[in-house]
Structure 1
Amino acid sequence: MKKFQAQPGFVVQAFRFALDPNAAQEHALRSHCGAARAAYNWAVGWVEASWWQRRAEESYGIPEADLTPWRPWSLPALRKAFNEAKHTDPRFCGWWEDNSKEAYSTGLANASAAFDNYAKSKRGKRKGRAVGMPRFKAKRKARLACRFTTGTIRVEAGGRHVTLPRLGAIRVHESTVKLLVRVQSGTARILSATVRHERGRWFVSFQTEVKRDLVRVARPDTAVGIDLGIKTLAVMADSAGEIREVPNPRHLATALTELRRASRVVSRRRGSDRRTGQKPSRRWEKANAARNRVHHRVANLREDALHQLTTSVAAEYGTVVIEDLNVAGMVKNRRLARHITDAGFGEIRRRLDYKVKRNGCRIVAADRWYPSSKTCSGCGVVKAKLPLHIRTFHCDVCGLVIDRDANAALNLAALSAAAVAGTAVGGDQGAQAPKPRGADRKTRTTRPRLTAGTGRAGGATLPHQRQQETRDRTQAEALTLW
């Protein structure tokens, strides 16, 4: 599918609303999402059939030129093949006309993207973990989602209904005025709509092209460093020296007692058993719905808190400096995994990325190996070790005593000066490639140089000019401009 390019002065933005469909509309929504899953499974099976056929023919010694030709997985090819097969395939006969063509196009597009990701990963052209061959989606596990790109897609004038192809007008749970006003004034254009079932209810997301003017932040010349943690969700220190702490709401930890009680009730009901074909009882379904409501409430509270935090930061500072945390590696610690996922470190960084850029500001990501906690924010001396249980930073050179997280936030805020100067930007020419496993990223201890013949550290501290050069060099090695 061709990626949309916004016009100059316009940005692509999503508007998401909760739906309140009636029984017939909910059945139609589930039918469309099921049709997308069926089309995806058909495309995966149709493409892989030629792969297995070629492998079987090779085992019989058939030459390469006489093997069954490869079946393409591009979206146009899949659409053409599906349109020919839907009339005769017993999996679609009798019901495929009940849904919009966009439902089947959604499944085919997802299958095409899955094969593209597999091919790029196989050739080493895709970043991240290796991607395997696409697999069939199970009915009991697949997420319900369907995308509409053509047809009647609009927000009704009353602000309480949306219209989708083949589904008609569906009532929304909340007002759509924020999108309706933009569409009526000509500053927004709806490109597509995606319906999705999550957290126990249906949502619709409109992908729109919106004319958005840059909003001047409250302090455009001020940079802020954000240090994320578990005890305190975020410690923010700006370039003016002001330090502010954001407490960790711990939504999941607060709801654990209620969640354990709900889980015990579910375990004492008769659930489903796939081995014997046993159906869950009504009491189990009722108890499971009550447990799911606890999970949904925790997720909603966390999402709201993270939106408030990131929106306030993006509306105040001109430069935001954050850490490049290895969240996937951090959650492998079984003692901290639940607390880290409850805080949402990765989601904070993702939302700051697009919200800061939306206001025309800059976001800087400190290198993953930058010793923000071990570096003294006063003189720049770097400690060799600083265990996690030590929450107060004591500098052995200048005598600074400061909270560990506040010290890290001050060091992150200081990195913005190097970013303005243009030093150590990711991709600089002449930069040496790191050694395997980060062997060249070991923290080096910075010690004051002894003055010759005096036996003391040059007046107990480094000269001001050499000290500043040391700090700039350390920051230049660790900084990456996002």
Structure 2
Amino acid sequence: MKGFRPRPGFVVQAYRFALDPNAGQEAALRSHCGAARAAYNWAVAWVTASWWQRRAEVSYGVPDAELTGWRPWSLPALRKEFNVVKRTDPRFADWWEDNSKEAYSTGLANASAAFDNYAKSKNGKRKGARMGAPRFKSKRKARLSCRFTTGTIRVDADGRHVTLPRLGTIRTHEPTHKLLARVRGGTARILSATVRHERGRWFVSFQTEVKRDIQRVARPGTVVGIDLGVKTLAVMADSTGEIRTVANPRHYDKALTQLRRASRAVSRRRGPDRRTGQKPSKRWEKANAQLTKIHHRVANLRADALHKLTTTVTRTYGTVVVEDLHVAGMLRNHRLARRIADAGFGEIRRRLSYKSRRNGCRVLAADRWYPSSKTCSGCGAVKAKLPLHLRTYTCDACGLVIDRDANAALNLAALAATAVTGTGVAGDQDTAQPVSKPRGADRKTRTTRTRRKAGPGRAGGATLPHQQQTETRDRTQAQAPTLW
């Protein structure tokens, strides 16, 4: 819910279950999702009609005071107007009673949010990429989704069914005992339910307010630096000198043979053709379902592996330091794009962000331009260049020979102390960050040497960067990890 704040001691958490609807229930689910899409398209057309009318009047020389007024796009205004026209508009008059009111409210709420995002983006009040004006949703391409906020929304007592407004009781593909036990115990309250069709299967996601006590991490005083990569998914080095390697499972590469075979089978069948109106054959639908099943399994395996990795990290260490990777730019490398996408770098950072709040774990993001791989973890010397094919770091100053990823992880772990000491290499959440180019930016690393504080040893990771020379002072001011 937009603007909803949970009670003290509670958090908002989603419980997602796969559904096994029968033929009638699946038709009703598709009808509700189609109603949401139709309401969205109506709202877009109703609001933008005043825009085009004003543009035409301006071209005719109509004074500004006499122009047609702007139509509001707030959710209450859209609901009020839709309730007036739904009984008379030929697009809704014959079938709007077949679906729950929540289906139409879903489309209107999405349209209102889309117009808000467009207006804020145009006025410079919204971060991220520039957003265009809302457009109509295609019947063939739109994602089937519908949200319920009122009515009968519950998890049935048998643990294998859920009940939704107008849809009735639907069997779940998996047991719902985890959510059912919390609801019965009074530690969870269902706020809303969203049904969605993904990868050939229907899912229901319950947004709940859950009472969750903070579970302290196993090693609260330990700092860990995580260096992500393609050959090895993650190399973790903590402040005690322990280095742990997590292999890259490469689920997509392992399923590539099956995907190619299934894709050839789909291409040899008679598929749909929008130009001629040709409908797909039964064999094409069967082959396409098999291809979707393989993609679904790969996505589930990837999500499971990333959940296990991030959960283990946030339950073990008190402070986690990761890199601020420019994943969108990395995907432009056509030689590594497939493996980078399969690794899920962005998803790892997102999950570390919200899971850290459950355990009181602090997560820091190093500056994007911090040369973690080029800096020696022993003496602090920085190489000007370090090609990607060199997997072993050899320091020219002190002679340290160490794995490239392990060296980067040790440097990331050492950055955590600067968030407290304020030496300029790291900073707190409110530290001002310089504005950098969103695409194609490049910042070269100049050879320098970093002074170190006294510590127990070179490989232990406890020696922390303190102060750099004047020639790189302008660069180090931007190397403050951001607290999520």
TM-score, length of structure 2 as denominator length: 0.92
Q: How does 1:205-224 map to 2 (within 5 A)?
A: 205-224=205-224
Q: How does 1:151-190 map to 2 (within 5 A)?
A: 151-190=151-190
The answer for the alignment partner of 1:266 in structure 2 is 266
- Say whether the 8 Å CA contact 1:425–1:481 is kept in structure 2: yes
Q: Which amino acid aligns with 1:375?
A: T
Alignment counterpart, residue 468 of structure 2, candidates 462, 467, 470? 470
Output one character per residue of 1:46-87: Cα deviation in whole Å (capped at 9) or x when no partner.
101111111111111111111111110000000001111101
- Give the drift of 1:468: 4.5
Equivalent position SS for 2:204: strand
User: Unpaired runs of 5+ in structure 1?
Assistant: 450-464
Where do 1:134-153 residues align within 5 Å?
A: 134-153=134-153
User: Is 1:271–1:281's contact at 8 Å kept on the other side of the alignment?
Assistant: yes
**Matches of 1:267 and 1:224, distance apart in 2:** 48
Amino acid at match of 2:385: K
Q: 1:183 to 1:432 in 2, by over 3 A?
A: closer
Write out aligned runs for 1:37-436 (5 A).
37-421=37-421, 424-425=426-427, 433-434=434-435
Q: 1:18 to 1:122 in 2, by over 3 A?
A: same
- Report deviation, 1:222: 0.7
Partners of 1:432 and 1:257 lie apart in 2 by: 45
Which residue of the partner structure matches residue 482 of structure 2? 481
Corresponding residue SS for 2:15: strand
- Over 3 Å counting, the alpha-carbon distance change for 1:53 and 1:10 in structure 2 is same
Shift of 1:420: 3.4
Q: Which amino acid aligns with 2:166?
A: R
Equivalent position of 2:446 in the other structure:
444
What is aligned with 1:458? none
Checking the alignment, whether the CA contact within 8 Å between 1:418 and 1:476 is kept in structure 2 is no
Cα distance, 1:419 vs structure 2:
2.0
**Aligned AA (2:103):** A
Distance 2:126 2:377 in 1: 39
**8 Å contact 1:79–1:108 — kept in the other structure?**
yes
Report the identity percentage. Answer: 77
Which residue type is aligned with residue 114 of structure 1?
A
Contact 2:227 2:409 in 1 (8 A): yes
CA pair 235-475 structure 1, distance change in 2 beyond 3 A: farther
Q: Which amino acid aligns with 2:412?
A: L
Report the Cα distance in structure 1 between the residues aligned to 2:427 and 2:450, rounded to whole angstroms.
Answer: 28
Partner of 1:460: none
Task: Write the distance in 1 (CA, Å) between the matches of 2:142 and 2:441.
Answer: 42
Deviation (angstroms), 1:101: 0.5
Determine the C-alpha separation between the residues in 2 that align with 1:432 and 1:244.
31
Match of 2:5 in 1: 5
Contact 2:415 2:464 in 1 (8 A): no
Distance 1:37 1:54 in 2: 26
Equivalent position SS for 1:356: helix
Q: Is this contact kept in 2: 1:223–1:317, CA < 8 A? A: yes
Q: Which residue identity does 1:176 align to in structure 2?
A: T
1:265-296 per-residue CA deviation (whole Å, 9 max, x = no partner) reads 11111111111111111111111111111111
Provide the C-alpha distance between the structure 2 equivalents of 1:235 and 1:163, rounded to a whole number of angstroms.
Answer: 45
Instruction: Specify the code of the residue in structure 2 equivalent to 1:445.
Output: T
Q: State the shift of 1:470 in Å.
A: 3.4
Paired residue type of 1:270? R
Partner SS, residue 315 of structure 1: helix
TM-score w.r.t. length of structure 1: 0.92
Give CA deviations for 1:347-373 in whole Å, capped at 9, x if unaligned. 010001111121111000001011000
Superposed displacement of residue 299, structure 1: 0.7
The CA deviation at 1:90 is 0.8
The 8 Å contact of residues 222 and 318 in structure 1, kept in 2 or not, is answered as: yes
> Displacement of 1:481 after TM fit?
2.7
Q: Matched residues in 2 for 1:362 and 1:306: separation?
A: 19
Q: Aligned partners of 2:416 and 2:316: how far apart in 1?
A: 16
- Given that 2:414 and 2:465 are in contact with CA atoms closer than 8 Å, whether structure 1 keeps it comes out as no
Aligned equivalents of 1:100 and 1:146: distance in 2?
A: 10
- Deviation, structure 1 residue 428: 5.4
> 1:12-65: per-residue Cα shift (whole Å, max 9, x none)?
111111111111111111111110000000000110111111111111111111
Are 1:418 and 1:475, in contact at CA under 8 Å, matched by a contact in 2?
no
Contact 2:217 2:318 in 1 (8 A): yes
Mark the CA change 1:277 to 1:204 in structure 2 (over 3 Å): closer, same or farther: same
What residue is the counterpart of 2:29 in the other structure? 29
Question: Structure 1 CA distance, aligned partners of 2:201 and 2:132?
Answer: 31
Is the Cα–Cα contact under 8 Å of residues 219 and 317 in structure 1 kept in the other structure? yes
Cα gap change, 1:440 to 1:205, in 2 (>3 Å): closer
Tell me the secondary structure at the aligned position of residue 468 of structure 2: helix
**Do the aligned partners of 1:434 and 1:440 also contact (CA within 8 Å) in 2?**
no
**C-alpha distance after superposition, 1:227-250 (max 9, x if no partner):** 000000111111111111111111
Taking structure 1 as reference, are residues 32 and 420 closer, same or farther at Cα in structure 2, changes over 3 Å only?
same
| Residues 119-156 of structure 1, C-alpha deviations (whole Å, 9 max, x = no match) | 11111111111100111000110001111111111111
